[in-house]
Amino acid sequence: MTWAAGHKLQDSKYIIEKELGEGGFGITYRARDNNGRYVVIKTLNDNLQIRPDFAKF
């Protein structure tokens, strides 16, 4: 799942600003927390999450 700018996470604690990059394991985003600080959020990509051996990652 790719998140678009403006997507809110954890009851609006974080708001996605933009995608920074995508690699073999995940997608990295720049976000802002509810205090206005920039944070980086990395998620596992969809292909990795559906693998039967996902738990080892």
* Mean local confidence (pLDDT), 6-24: 95
* Mean local confidence (pLDDT), 8-18: 97
pTM of the model: 0.80
Judge whether residue 28 has pLDDT over 90: yes
Is 40 inside any structural domain?
yes
Is 2 inside any structural domain?
no
Nearest Cα to Cα of residue 18 among 10, 26, 27:
27
Is 3 inside any structural domain?
no
Q: What pLDDT is recorded for position 40?
A: 98
Is 1 inside any structural domain?
no
Q: What pLDDT is recorded for position 48?
A: 77
Is 27 inside any structural domain?
yes
Q: What pLDDT is recorded for position 52?
A: 86
Q: Please report, rounded to a whole number, the percentage of residues in the chain having pLDDT higher than 90.
A: 63
Is 25 inside any structural domain?
yes
Q: Check the annotation: does 42 bind a ligand.
A: yes
Is 34 inside any structural domain?
yes
Please give the DSSP secondary-structure letter assigned to residue 2.
Answer: P
Number of domains forming the structure of the chain: 1
Domain coverage including residue 25: 8-56
Give the whole-angstrom CA distance, residue 25 versus residue 12. Answer: 25
The tokens for 33 are: 């927390």
Return the residue matching tokens 């990509």.
45
Buried b (16+ CB within 10 A) or exposed e, 43-56: beeeeeeeeeeeee
Is 19 inside any structural domain?
yes
